[in-house]
Chains A and B, each alone.
Chain A
């Protein structure tokens, strides 16, 4: 298994080497051009140097494209749960040479994705932080998925502040449907941990609709968290409906093992009395009230 530290050091080394090589080739091209335009008679033909540089550039670009193809296979393999195969793909892509930053950044992101799928939260957080710490340029589409991985990993590690910072920066981006679903799940998890039940219940019908599009496990988790929020806010109709749905979609014991706070939904039949509210406080007021 590739360690996060090794992957990061290899990534940094390859990035430096790639930048150096690109600079050298560009400087060589500029020099040969000056040589061709110069009125001084020289024994070396600038055009020939330019041709050699162009040929090297093309050959290295072709080699880099191979790395890109290798990297492109990883997400679907990770999604299908074949982690060993994904590990092999990422390792090959990481070891292959690339002239361009994009390939290396993408490979590191795929490794973060893999570690996230394997529930290795430490590694996932470190790797996605490294991706985000670089100037992404043409790889800017990696920003949103990397932040989502980071937010979820930090949440799992109990770093609520870090998770909030990673999530907050996503509000400035336009998200795809898949990203919006992931963000909603992370947000529900975060809100449940800080006890923001009212915020969780705001627009609950839309949230449920979005949860219905998720795979069974995530859908059950999202609706379980919403059931907990409904219970805390005294919305017994929502709590019962959502809890019943979760029971159909997933194994409740397994779900509660991953999110112990959810035991509360299944251990009590009615909403427990909350601590008395302070004057003017409406922490659990239902949206329709």
Chain B
């Protein structure tokens, strides 16, 4: 397919080729001469650079200055001109002021409309991410972040969703780069910052950067949102212990934090059960491993758990998943 004919939702890079309609992903390298023709699929550095909001002319202040100028000119004219000219000047000044005010109103309306449009697109991306329609979300984010965004606020939201999409495609290095960019360069509220730190720690574990991950976990332990315990942090610690071969610690953490895991994780509770099952399996407690694997697969299909954590792969062949009604599969 020629570059010009290529639909906008198809990207090709030396890492991954993705069709947003079918969601098919392959990792073959591009043909010679083709690589430079198409942008890389969600190239983080480019998107971070291009999405920076550009400074716009301060039209409101220009309008106010023009209004003041008109008023002063009208006052000066009234004081120094003859009576017929005074009348003409006053009429002209009023007309100019009305035109300016109308112009400012149109400008404000236009600005609000474009802000709303950007917000609407961000909400659409949020829905796609929630619905796990990753190819479509990736496509929309790629388009949105390829051009300057209107506000820093919506840019931050788009970048947050970008980290989710990148993590989904196992591009944890890129996801960490975006998270660190957000943490280092932008003012974020406490919750968002904590969520980003959690996502970064999880990404570091997936990337096998265990020393950095351990430091990130220690930092997270010191902080909390509104003094509440974090189920996300507990899940990360369980994962670290499973990954580094400390099943006893993983089990202890799982049993200790069971209540908050249930309260905060909703269906992602499957992750905790899956990792706990693996920890029990590593310890040789087959019964507990089997029952926890059943619980995990009750909430989430085994295939999805395998995609999230390669560590649970041995469980798939060993234990029966929960029975699921045929229509729900």
Give chain A's interface residues, CB within 8 Å of chain B. Answer: 32-33, 36-37, 39, 41, 45-48, 50-51, 54, 80, 82, 176-177, 204-205, 208, 212-216, 219, 235, 237-238, 241, 244-245, 248-250, 288
The answer, yes or no, to whether B45 is at the interface (CB within 8 Å) is no
Kindly list the 4 A-B residue pairs having the minimum CB-CB distance in the complex, ordered from nearest.
A36-B94, A216-B266, A177-B127, A237-B325
Q: Report yes or no: B131 in contact with A177, Cβ–Cβ below 8 A.
A: yes
- Known: A237-B325, A245-B298, A248-B299; 11 extra A-B contacts, CB below 8 A, are A48-B75, A54-B97, A82-B226, A177-B126, A205-B328, A212-B267, A213-B130, A213-B267, A214-B266, A241-B325, A250-B262
Chain A, residue nearest B71 (CB): A51
Main secondary structure of the interface of B (DSSP, over half): helix
B224: CB under 8 A from chain A?
no
Q: What B residues does A48 contact at CB under 8 A? A: 71, 75
Question: Which residues of B in the span 230-273 have a Cβ within 8 Å of any Cβ on A?
Answer: 262-267, 269, 273
Instruction: Report whether B90 and A244 are in contact in the complex, using a CB–CB cutoff of 8 Å.
Output: no
A54-B101, A248-B269 given; A205·B327 CB < 8 A = yes
Interface string of B283-307 (1 = CB under 8 A from A): 0000000000001001100000000
Name which residue of chain B comes closest to A39, CB basis.
B87
Residues of A within 8 A of B98 (CB): 33, 50
Q: State the CA gap A13–B327 with chains docked (Å).
A: 56
Partner of A46, one of B94, B262, B295, B327: B94
CB distance from B62 to the nearest CB of A (A): 15
Q: Is the CB of A204 within 8 A of B91?
A: no
Give me 21 A-to-B residue pairs in the complex whose CB atoms sit less than 8 angstroms apart, sorted by A's number.
Answer: A36-B90, A36-B94, A46-B90, A47-B94, A47-B97, A48-B71, A82-B226, A204-B328, A213-B131, A216-B264, A216-B269, A241-B322, A241-B323, A241-B324, A241-B328, A244-B298, A244-B322, A248-B269, A248-B298, A249-B267, A249-B299
Interface range for B: 35 or more
B78 close to chain A: CB less than 8 A: yes
B266 touching A215 by the CB < 8 A rule?
A: yes
A248 with B74: CB separation less than 8 A = no
Q: Is B123 positioned at the interface, with any CB of A under 8 Å from its CB?
A: yes
What residues of chain A lie closer than 8 Å to B94, measured between beta carbons?
32-33, 36-37, 46-47, 50
> What are the interface flags for B186-200 relative to A under an 8 Å C-beta threshold, 1 for contact and 0 otherwise?
000001000000000
